[in-house]
A and B are shown apart, each in its own frame.
Chain A
Amino acid sequence: EIVLTQSPATLSLSPGERATLSCRASQSVSGYLAWYQQKPGQAPRLLIYDASNRATDIPARFSGSGSGTDFSLTISSLEPEDFGVYYCQQRRNWPSYTFGQGTKLEIK
């Protein structure tokens, strides 16, 4: 099973700052990595699929990069609505998937 490890566990930043979230895979997942945002009481929202492709209606301030085992999600300038928990997910062995444990992005 491919294990995804996200870091940091918690990230405290202010609106307007740049956020960089990391996801590391226990073995190569090629470019088959997605990122999701979840707010309390809500379903997860797809942000990025296949490492760098923004999903429909996702603002340009969200970008994804990486390949193999190391990936990043960057939010160029934080908006108040961007705070929440972010998960990475891999589909290297599709049709099965695994998720990372999440990074909580909180207001400083």
Chain B
Amino acid sequence: QLVESGGDLVQPGGSLRLSCAASGFTFNNYWMTWVRQAPGKGLEWVANIDQDGNEKDYVDSVKGRFSISRDNVKKSLYLQMNSLRAEDTAVYYCAREMAVAGGSYNYYGMDVRGQGTTVTVSS
């Protein structure tokens, strides 16, 4: 199970930190991902992070503004969002993806288990 939180109404230029609490699987064996969906629009991959928190990747539109991190002890994933823009308004979902164990990579799809958290950027 994945439970997202932290969404809110924020002014343009503001900051927000999203959290995702994981349970029911071995969190530190998976890459984790954030995906978002703007109102009435399709899905967009935002960022992901490896099982140790060392390797990260971002969609171009958020590079330099968003930062993904994780705490394997707390089994939690985070997304720090700075310099927010109106176009960042969306429901944000966390998901588990690539499984890594003993140096072996196994992919079983991007499993979006949470219900999402809503971020609204508006003045």
Residues of A within 8 A of B111 (CB): 46, 55
Contact of B112 among A46, A49, A98 (CB under 8 A): A46
Contact of B108 among A49, A89, A96 (CB under 8 A): A49
The B78-123 residues at the A interface (CB cut-off 8 A) are: 93, 98, 107-116
Contact of A96 among B59, B109, B116 (CB under 8 A): B59
Interface contact B45-A97, CB-CB below 8 Å: yes
Interface contact B116-A43, CB-CB below 8 Å: yes
Interface contact A96-B45, CB-CB below 8 Å: yes
Contact of B110 among A34, A98, A101 (CB under 8 A): A34
The A88-108 residues at the B interface (CB cut-off 8 A) are: 89, 91, 94-102
Contact of A99 among B44, B114, B115 (CB under 8 A): B44
Interface contact A43-B45, CB-CB below 8 Å: no
Q: Which residue of A lies closest to B49 (CB)?
A: A95
**CB of B57 to closest CB in A, whole Å:** 4
Interface contact A43-B42, CB-CB below 8 Å: no
Most A CB within 10 A of own CB, among B43, B45, B59, B113? B43
Most A CB within 10 A of own CB, among B31, B108, B109, B114? B109
A16 within 8 A of B: no
Residues of A within 8 A of B112 (CB): 36, 43-46
Interface contact A94-B109, CB-CB below 8 Å: no
| With known contacts A43-B93, A49-B108, A94–B98 Cβ distance under 8 A | yes
B19 within 8 A of A: no
Interface contact A34-B109, CB-CB below 8 Å: yes
- Report which A residues bind B (CB closer than 8 A): 34, 36, 38, 42-46, 48-50, 53, 55, 87, 89, 91, 94-102
* 23 sample A-B contacts, Cβ–Cβ < 8 Å, listed by A number: A34-B109, A36-B43, A36-B112, A38-B43, A43-B93, A43-B112, A43-B115, A44-B43, A46-B112, A49-B108, A49-B109, A49-B110, A53-B108, A53-B109, A55-B108, A87-B42, A89-B45, A95-B55, A97-B45, A97-B110, A99-B44, A99-B45, A101-B42
- Report which B residues bind A (CB closer than 8 A): 31, 33, 35, 42-45, 48, 50, 55, 57, 59, 93, 98, 107-116
